[in-house]
Amino acid sequence: MVVSLETHSNTMTVIKKVAIFGASGNFGTPITSALVSAGFDVTIITRIESLSTFPPGIAIIKSEYTVERLTAALRGQDAAICVVGPAGNSTQEVMIDAAEAAGVERFIVNDFGWGPNFRSLPEFQQIGAQRRIAWERARELAEANPRFTYTGITIGNPIDWAIRRFPAMGFDIERRSAVIYDAGSEEFTGTTLEGIGQAVVGVLTHPDATANRFVKARSIQTNQNQLLDAFQRATGQAWEIRRESVKDRLESGRKKHEEGNGGWILDLLVYQLYEPGAARCIVAPGDDPDVELLEMREETPDDIVGKVLNAAASGDEK
Ligand X SMILES: NC(=O)c1ccc[n+]([C@@H]2O[C@H](COP(=O)([O-])OP(=O)(O)OC[C@H]3O[C@@H](n4cnc5c(N)ncnc54)[C@H](OP(=O)(O)O)[C@@H]3O)[C@@H](O)[C@H]2O)c1
Residues 74 to 113 in contact with ligand X, rule: CB under 6 A: 83-88, 91, 110, 112-113
What is the C-alpha separation between 170 and 158, in angstroms, rounded? 15
Q: How far is the CB of 191 from ligand X (least distance, A)?
A: 8
What is the C-alpha separation between 297 and 75, in angstroms, rounded? 34
**Neighbouring C-beta atoms of residue 171, cutoff 10 Å:** 22
Burial (0-12, 13-18, 19+ Cβ within 10 Å), 144: exposed
Q: How far is the CB of 235 from ligand X (least distance, A)?
A: 25
What is the C-alpha separation between 298 and 292, in angstroms, rounded? 10
The reply on whether position 215 binds ligand X by CB under 6 A is no
The reply on whether position 199 binds ligand X by CB under 6 A is no
DSSP state at residue 238: P
Stretch that binds ligand X, among 46-54, 226-234, 252-260, 295-303 (CB under 6 A): 46-54
Q: At what angle do helices 246-258 and 264-274 cross, to 10 degrees?
A: 150
What is the C-alpha separation between 58 and 91, in angstroms, rounded? 23
Interface residue with ligand X among 46, 192, 198, 226 (CB under 6 A) is: 46
C-beta closer to ligand X: residue 83 or 230: 83
Interface residue with ligand X among 26, 43, 222, 226 (CB under 6 A) is: 26
Interface residue with ligand X among 7, 13, 52, 252 (CB under 6 A) is: 52
CA distance readout (Å), 213 to 65, 95, 108, 216, 219? 25, 18, 10, 10, 20
C-beta closer to ligand X: residue 27 or 150: 27
Largest distance between two CA atoms of the chain:
62
The reply on whether position 155 binds ligand X by CB under 6 A is yes
C-beta closer to ligand X: residue 108 or 204: 108
Stretch that binds ligand X, among 45-53, 140-148, 166-174, 287-295 (CB under 6 A): 45-53
The contact mask relative to ligand X for 110-149 (x = CB under 6 A, - = no) is x-xx------------------------------------
Q: Is 165 helix (H, G, I), strand (E, B) or coil?
A: helix
Interface residue with ligand X among 15, 20, 25, 284 (CB under 6 A) is: 25
Q: How far is the CB of 269 from ligand X (least distance, A)?
A: 7
C-beta closer to ligand X: residue 22 or 301: 22
Burial (0-12, 13-18, 19+ Cβ within 10 Å), 49: exposed
C-beta closer to ligand X: residue 44 or 102: 44
Residue of 303, 143, 265 whose CA lies nearest to 211: 143
Residues making contact with ligand X (CB under 6 A): 22-28, 46-47, 50, 52, 83-88, 91, 110, 112-113, 155, 157-158
